[in-house]
Amino acid sequence: MTVTAEGPATEVTGVVPTTLDDLVGDPARFFAQHWGNQPVVLRAHSDLSTLISEEEMWEELECGLLSRPYFTMFNEGVRTAISDMTQTRSVVGHELAGYVKPEQIRQDFAAGGTFKFNQAEHWHPRIRALVQGMQPHFRGGLESFVFLSPPRKTAMNAHMDGAHVFVLQVAGTKDWVIGRIDETAISDSALHEGEIRPDLRMETTLRPGDVLYMPHGCPHYATSTDVNSIHIAVTIEEPTAVDLANVYLASLLADERFTALSQRHHAMPLAEKVEQLRKLIDEFLGETDPDQQLAAAVTLRRLHR
């Protein structure tokens, strides 16, 4: 099935995206129709080309200040060895490892590799502004990644991401193959085994200004066409069941009633100990504000990223 973009037919030039509205239009409509449902291609209500350019990416490279983990290089899913693409520099009398080696990146790009900026919201001002503007709409950790791919290359094999993903096509074009969500979909990051099923297969070509949304669990891969391609992936990773369980457990262990039980449990028969703990857990869960626990789990997820 071939997918075309939804959204305004006219181009919006010069408008730098800083909010979710700039990407999807009406956020309420987007969440009602698309969030967590199926992949969809939308048309941005802003000029995605204002976020970053190829020239700017090469300037960042040549500046020499990029350091790990904020860049990487990979080809057909194989990453260039860190020792090959980094070098040690002397900074204020200290020898610091992990700085980018520009000549290796250019050599690998010429050989068909994809140049990638990681967590660009940490250091790139316009991308940081967009990610911060999107954050209030989500309960999860947001990160951004910039991909510069040479023509006719598939940077990574089919895989799933353990996060929701917005793909913003900034420059060039890229052919995408995406699997729709079904009962076998998983929420973890993993390689996809075998071909994406024909009955679940979506195919689309992203052009500058297109926004692809994929719920977590969608297998996908992309191939650049006949020109260099830049896209930005903004990921939203929600708290897992383990994150929520850890937050609830930490809150329970800090409860003064649990402290009292832990101080006298040795004097109880085992059956009574189990019953007292069960009653305490029931009371605790009934009293606890789930929104507060969720907020704590989101914070925990962000700290562990």
Total residue count of the chain as it appears in this document: 305
Would you say 229 and 153 are in contact if contact means Cβ atoms under 8 Å apart? no
Quote the pLDDT of residue 160.
Answer: 83
Kind of pairing between the strands at 71-75 and 114-118 = antiparallel
Residues 13 and 113 in one domain: yes
Residues 179 and 37 in one domain: yes
Q: Is 117 helix (H, G, I), strand (E, B) or coil?
A: strand
Distance CA 47, CA 23 (A): 9
Tell me which of 204, 238, 272 is where a domain ends: 238
Quote the pLDDT of residue 65.
Answer: 87
Residues 156 and 201 in one domain: yes
Quote the pLDDT of residue 123.
Answer: 94
Find the CATH number of the domain harbouring 132: 2.60.120.650
Residues 192 and 257 in one domain: no
The sign one gets for the Cα dihedral 154, 159, 160, 161 is: negative
Quote the pLDDT of residue 303.
Answer: 62
Residues 125 and 265 in one domain: no
Q: Which two tokens stand for residue 135?
A: 């954050």
- Say if residue 69 is preceded by a cis peptide, omega within 30 of 0: yes
Would you say 247 and 297 are in contact if contact means Cβ atoms under 8 Å apart? yes
Residues 49 and 93 in one domain: yes
Query: Which regions in the chain score pLDDT beneath 70?
Result: 1-4, 8-11, 184-191, 301-305
Q: Which two tokens stand for residue 92?
A: 């204020």
Tell me which of 238, 254, 273 is where a domain ends: 238
**Closest Cα to residue 161, out of 116, 217, 241?**
217
Q: Is 67 helix (H, G, I), strand (E, B) or coil?
A: strand
Q: Residue 143: how many CB atoms within 10 A of its CB?
A: 19
159 beta partners: 191, 220
Residue 249, domain extent: 241-303
Q: Which residues contact residue 138 at a Cβ distance below 8 angstroms, ignoring those fewer than 6 apart?
A: 236, 238
Q: In the 8-state DSSP scheme, what is residue 11?
A: -
Distance CA 257, CA 272 (A): 16
Domain count, the chain: 2
Quote the pLDDT of residue 227.
Answer: 95
Q: Which two tokens stand for residue 52?
A: 């970053």
Residues 95 and 203 in one domain: yes
Residues 141 and 259 in one domain: no
Q: Tens digits of per-residue pLDDT, 252-271?
A: 899 999 998 889 888 889 99
Residues 287 and 171 in one domain: no
Residues 42 and 169 in one domain: yes
Tell me which of 215, 238, 261 is where a domain ends: 238
Residues 234 and 247 in one domain: no
- Identity (one letter) of the amino acid at 120? A
Residues 118 and 185 in one domain: yes
Quote the pLDDT of residue 69.
Answer: 94
Quote the pLDDT of residue 50.
Answer: 97
Q: Is 260 helix (H, G, I), strand (E, B) or coil?
A: helix
Question: φ, ψ for residue 63 (rounded to 5)?
Answer: -60, -35
Would you say 48 and 17 are in contact if contact means Cβ atoms under 8 Å apart? yes
